[in-house]
Amino acid sequence: MENDGARADAPDRGTEVLAMTEEAGEISPDEVCILIPTLEEAATIGDVIDGFLEQGYANVVVVDGGSDDGTREIARERGAQVIVQSGHGKGQAVREALEYVAAPYVLMVDGDGTYDPADADAMLEPLSRGYEHVIGNRFADMDDDAMAALNGFGNRLINRSFGFIHGATYDDVLSGYRAFTTDSVERLSLDSDGFTIETELAVECVKHGVDTTVVPISYSARPEESETNLHPLKDGGTIILALYSLAKTNNPLFYFGSLGVAGIASGGVIAMYVLWRWIQYQQGHEIIALVSAAAILLGVQLLMFGVLSDMLVTLHREQRRRLEQITRNARERDDD
Ligand SMILES: Nc1nc2c(ncn2[C@@H]2O[C@H](COP(=O)(O)OP(=O)(O)O)[C@@H](O)[C@H]2O)c(=O)[nH]1
Ligand SMILES: [Mg+2]
């Protein structure tokens, strides 16, 4: 599958990016909005905000999910702007907060103290070189007790599946430390409510050809008095389902093809059984044979449908790229 967002080296718009680099230069902290979704993070939110203030980032927005442990009060005291989300879940909170953001760059981070504000500059740096989305890779420098074995296994499984289905290697798809340009995130169509927001961000980056890169960061354990809102089995399952259902428009060959292959395989197994009964015992099983034939036929049709949809998506992607190119050229002409 072709794919644009996956490059770990420089983006391919060669000369254009060079031009962007010259213009953009270094990112100043007042162009950055630090976006922190929180739910019951009173134990850590104060230190997290202080950490970013110390690094020189004064524009801090906390979007809270209705904590009743004093998270909002602490955040306000430290000088953050506090929004209370109108719905539920981290995803809804982030989407709502993004509507408020006026700064050209956003640095999104958890309020649980597991990410290091000292990594902020490193996270933002690629944006000054023309990248549009940066993912902090927690596996680069992770404390031993930062991730439970089950979560580690789930993360690896999800990263592998993401690579296989969506064709990009982002190392740590579920990372909560993200830097992106406000322009690029507006191009994505996000509608996750809960913990599928990171997965959706990654898939949408691939889909819309957002230039994405990965930066190593450090990751520590939540302090003892703080608790995660994530349920590994339930949320892990939801994330894997989201990964699969997002393939419908991003990799339809996989989405329909895998169903098709399952149909053909199960039809094949049933056919073998019928054949074996016939050869061994001279017994015919017409009804079962009919089911087998139907499964194989349905499977082949799904597979063909997958190939056709894949062609449509490829053409659509080409058209969109051309449109974006035209828009960019027009904008450059206006600027001149
Ligand atoms: N606003 C809001 N924030 C949430 C909600 N659920 C989780 N969060 C925050 O999202 C961040 C990530 O959640 P966390 O429990 O740390 O998940 P993990 O890092 O994947 O274990 C934390 O800062 C949470 O406080 C929610 O429903 N609303
Ligand atoms: Mg966290």
Q: Whose CA is nearest to atom 16 of ligand 1?
A: 228
Q: Alpha-carbon distance 4 to 164, whole Å?
A: 15
Q: Alpha-carbon distance 142 to 298, whole Å?
A: 47
* Crossing angle of helices 90-100 and 197-207, rounded to 10°: 60
Place of tokens 């599928």: 196
167-189 confidence digits (pLDDT tens)? 999 999 999 999 999 999 999 99
Q: Which residues contact 276 (CB under 8 A, 6 or more apart)?
A: none
- pLDDT for 237 equals 95
Q: Taking a C-beta distance cutoff of 8 angstroms, is the pair 107, 49 a contact?
A: no
Q: Which fold has domain 14-247?
A: Spore Coat Polysaccharide Biosynthesis Protein SpsA; Chain A (3.90.550)
94-127 confidence digits (pLDDT tens)? 999 999 999 999 999 999 999 999 999 999 999 9
* Crossing angle of helices 232-245 and 149-166, rounded to 10°: 0
85 CB less than 6 Å from ligand 1?
Answer: yes
39 CB less than 6 Å from ligand 1?
Answer: yes
- Single out the residue of 39, 6, 63 nearest to residue 214, CA to CA: 6
Q: Whose CA is nearest to atom 14 of ligand 1?
A: 228
Pocket test for ligand 1, best of 49, 92, 100, 112 (most atoms within 8 A of CB): 112
* Residue 178 backbone phi and psi in degrees, to 5: -135, 140
What mean pLDDT, rounded, does the chain reach?
92
Q: Whose CA is nearest to atom 27 of ligand 1?
A: 89
Amino acid at 272: M
Question: Mind listing the pLDDT tens digit of every residue in the chain (336 residues)?
Answer: 334 444 344 444 444 444 444 445 789 999 999 999 999 999 999 999 999 999 999 999 999 999 999 999 999 999 999 999 999 999 999 999 999 999 999 999 999 999 999 999 999 999 999 999 999 999 999 999 999 999 999 999 999 999 999 999 999 999 999 999 999 999 999 999 999 999 999 999 999 889 999 999 999 999 988 888 899 999 999 999 999 999 999 999 999 999 999 999 999 999 999 999 999 999 999 999 999 999 999 999 999 999 999 999 999 988 988 988 898 899 889 888
Q: Taking a C-beta distance cutoff of 8 angstroms, is the pair 173, 157 a contact?
A: no
